[in-house]
Structure 1
Amino acid sequence: MTPDSSPIAASLNRYFLLNFPAEAARQIESFAAADVLPSLLEQDAAVLVPVWSKLVPLVAATLTRQLPADMARQLLADIPPGDAVRILFQLPAGPRTALLETLGPATRQELEQLMSYPEDSAGRLMDTRIPTYRGSMTVQEALDSLRRAKMKTARSLYLVDEEGRIIERVLLQELALADPASRLQELARPVRATVQATASREEVLETFSRYVLLDLPVVDIDGVLLGV
């Protein structure tokens, strides 16, 4: 990828960014921000989302500050929250606050909450964009919800009570094979382990190892599911 604004270069850049985000990130990092920025500005923000999550935070922060406000806002809103927080922490307080103020209330609140957790804590590391489900939902309803949420990495669905407390889980592989009319509570299994948002990275890794987990729910002191 070279800093070239021709239509052909823009087309190649789009393909490269969408299909090889990690490789694209490494190339972007090899250029000065001023040189690579014109090529990036030719792309839609949606094209840059996969790449922004692969950039080292300092490079991502430097580029984000130079993007048009709408583009920067969309990127911060669409990349995983943990990645957005790591980028924001690379910025001085003034620009960081200015970027946060461009975001919608829900996204801003989510990022500010994550930024309040200690570095390397479960709260900082978790993915908060995890849909929750009721045991009374049908398999078909859950599958439709998953498709709308575009969840790509979930291995379990988490069932919660009326207060949002985690109570059980459903394995995604079992969900896919179940009768669409079945209720989630019929497929539910116990939740093997949880950690609180303030748990350290070491505690998280120890819990993963002890219970041989693929994902680990993060809860508050009342057992309310915050993320995974």
Structure 2
Amino acid sequence: MQTVFDETEFDKYKSIVQQALDSGNFVPIDRLFNEELSVVDLAHLLESTPSKVRMFLWSFIDEIHQGDVLSYLNDEIRQALLGKMSAEEIVETTQDIESDDLADMLQQMPPEVSNRVLQLMPSDDRSEVEGLLVYPEDTAGGLMNTDVVAIRADVTVETVLRYLRKLELPDSLDMLWVTDRDSHYKGSLALPRLLTTAADVTIADIMSTTIKAIDAYADEEHVAQIFERQDLISAPVVNGEGILIGRITIDDVVDVIIENADHSILGMAGLDEEDDVFAPAIKSSQDRAVWLGINMATAFIAAAVMSRFEASIAEIVALAVLSPVVASMGGIAGSQTLTLIIRGMATGHVTRSNLSWMILRELGVGLINGSLWAIVIGSITVIWYHSFSLALVIAAAILVNICLAVLSGTLLPFILKSAKIDPALSGSVILTTLTDVFGFLTFLGLATAFLL
């Protein structure tokens, strides 16, 4: 089976499926699914298909490939497919997939189903998966696979090579992990180094200690940062006693990076990165209704602030026209800072230790941009309304609101994280409320004080 890299070519395959469904001749689907497309592309094709025909297309995938296809699907679609299967069918379908992928699937199933699946699994496989289920899905233990190849430092290269020839080596093997007799992690040995070293050299003489072991309970974002900083392909995972229990490979870390990027983008709109794009309209509307309701509440907060200045607005109609300009400028400035800080926190570049520097830096940016756009908007106001005093008021409000916005955008992610709230999910909603309130309050307050 080939892997499709060209989106145009992939569109051609989707057209073949659609034409087969329309005509009722399913032979092209069977040939496409079992002879031409890889499991990665099959998963992508299912994700690109409306939910009402997805289960029908699933039936065309050969049973020996179904488990691998499941491991590449997003969580919501995978659970929808698994929900149609009995525990016996799940065991049969997933028998050949990686233990860490199976553990992730079981963690998302109802407890009664996952327990039944574990009971039906062979004892060796069950013990391996149960060892992984101890760790939360978003930790190093949840990412790792237990297919490690460990060697001791006191043996020779020749002994290790004989040992490797007897093993069924795992995929993506680039490193051997060096341990003592009690399985405590001591270092690593790259395969190229092993293969190019004389047979009588001991492992202790050629092993490396530069790759540090990752604690099993380390957060997945921290794991991704380690891989990025050290350009790792794989890394060892140890328990609290320093005993080697597994390894994390780069393919799992890439998944984490993509999921975090999707979460940061979609979270700002109140969406989940695992949402099914082709989910029924009723379900999607239910998922989005909550955030629409929250947005309504915040909009009324801003409206309540404006209502306190009804008399001022009635006397100077221009205030109603120009108020959204002040709020919008603050909102954009704050969103830029919020996005920058959330990204910096995710990469580990922005922490509490350099927060004070970031505050001063963002305030400096706010003062420069605030002053620039205060002059521009003030000039437009003079031309439009022929009022120099109104221009001064809106210029001052623009400057103050942009500075308050960048300050809020800098501090808000840290405040939310301290409260154990995801900044990417709720930060933009709260920031929009703050900039609207600050903008209306500043502009209308200054206008009431100096123009009436």
Normalising by the smaller structure, the TM-score range is 0.7 to 0.9
Cα deviation for residue 152 of structure 1 reads 2.5
State the Cα distance separating 1:183 from its structure 2 match: 5.2
Q: How does 1:96-135 map to 2 (within 5 A)?
A: 96-135=114-153
Segment drifting more, 59-68 vs 217-226: 59-68
Partner residue of 1:140?
161
Q: How many residues align?
A: 221
Q: Give me the whole-angstrom Cα distance separating, in 1, the residues matched to 2:198 and 2:145.
A: 29
**Partner residue, 1:190:** 209
**Cα distance between partner residues in 2 of 1:154 and 1:181:** 23
Q: Which residue among 56, 67, 77 is the counterpart of 2:74?
A: 56
Asked whether the 8 Å contact 1:139–1:183 carries over to 2, the reply is no
Alpha carbons 1:133, 1:157 under 8 Å: kept: yes
8 Å CA contact 1:139, 1:180 repeated in 2:
no
* Cα RMSD after superposing both structures: 3.0
Write out per-residue CA displacement over residues 96-146 of structure 1, whole angstroms, 9 at most, x where no aligned residue. Answer: 222222112232233233222234111111122222223426243244256
Instruction: Report the alpha carbon displacement of residue 24 of structure 1 after superposing the two structures with TM.
Output: 0.9
Residue 179 of structure 2 corresponds to 160
Q: CA 1:177/1:101 → structure 2, altered by over 3 Å: closer, same or farther?
A: same
Change over 3 Å in CA distance of 1:193–1:58 after alignment to 2: same
**Matches of 1:76 and 1:5, distance apart in 2:** 30
Structure-1 residue corresponding to 2:34: 14
* Deviation readout 1:34-81 (Å, 9 max, x if unpaired): 3123213xx242x33432221112322332344576653244342222
Partner in structure 1 of residue 101 of structure 2: 83
User: Do the aligned residues in 1 keep the contact of 2:104 with 2:142 (CA within 8 Å)?
Assistant: no
What letter matches 1:83 in structure 2? D
8 Å CA contact 1:16, 1:24 repeated in 2: no
Flag the 1:58–1:180 CA change in 2: closer, same or farther, 3 A.
Answer: farther
Change (3 A) 1:181 1:15: farther
Gaps of 5+ in 1: none
Distance 1:60 1:165, change over 3 A: same
Return closer, same or farther for 1:179/1:121 CA change in 2, 3 Å cut-off.
Answer: same
Find the aligned partners of 1:64 and 1:183 in 2 and give their Cα distance. 49
Tell me which moved more, 5-14 or 85-94.
Answer: 5-14
Aligned counterparts of 1:51 and 1:159: Cα–Cα separation in 2: 34
Whether contact under 8 Å (2:188, 2:211) holds in the other structure is: no
Separation of aligned partners in 1, 2:180 and 2:67: 34
How far apart are the structure 1 equivalents of 2:89 and 2:195? Answer: 36
- How big is the shift at 1:186? 4.7
* Corresponding position: 1:177 with 2:192: no
Looking at structure 1, the residues matched to 74 and 196 of structure 2 have their Cα atoms a distance apart, in angstroms, of 39
Q: Which runs of 5+ in 2 are unaligned?
A: 1-16, 248-452
User: Which of 1 and 2 has greater Rg?
Assistant: 2
Are residue 222 (structure 1) and residue 252 (structure 2) matched? no
- CA shift, 1:193, in A, is 0.7
Identity, % of aligned pairs? 23
Pick one of 42, 57, 76 that aligns with 1:24: 42
TM-score by length of 2: 0.43
Per the alignment, in what secondary structure is the counterpart of residue 23 of structure 1?
helix
Relative to total residues, which structure has the larger helix share, 1 or 2?
A: 2
Change in CA separation of 1:44 and 1:27 when aligned onto 2, cut-off 3 Å: same
The CA distance in 1 between the partners of 2:93 and 2:201, in whole Å, is 38
Q: Report the Cα offset of residue 182 of structure 1.
A: 5.7
Which whole-Å CA distance do the structure 1 matches of 2:95 and 2:147 have between them? 11
Question: Would the alpha carbon gap of residues 94 and 16 (structure 1) be closer, same or farther in structure 2, given more than 3 Å must change?
Answer: farther
Partner Cα distance (1:5, 1:112) in 2: 44
The change in CA–CA distance for 1:183 and 1:8 in structure 2 (over 3 A counts) is farther
Structure 1 residues 221 and 5, CA gap change in structure 2 (3 angstroms): farther
**Residue 173 of structure 1: SS of its match in structure 2?**
helix
Matched to 1:60, the amino acid is R
Q: Which structure has more RCO (C-alpha within 8 Å, separation ≥ 6)?
A: 1
Cα distance in 1 for residues equivalent to 2:67 and 2:198: 36
Residues 1:14 and 1:187: Cα distance change in structure 2 (over 3 Å)? farther
Match of 2:58 in 1: 37
Amino acid paired to 2:56:
D
Residue 93, structure 1, aligned to residue 108, structure 2: no
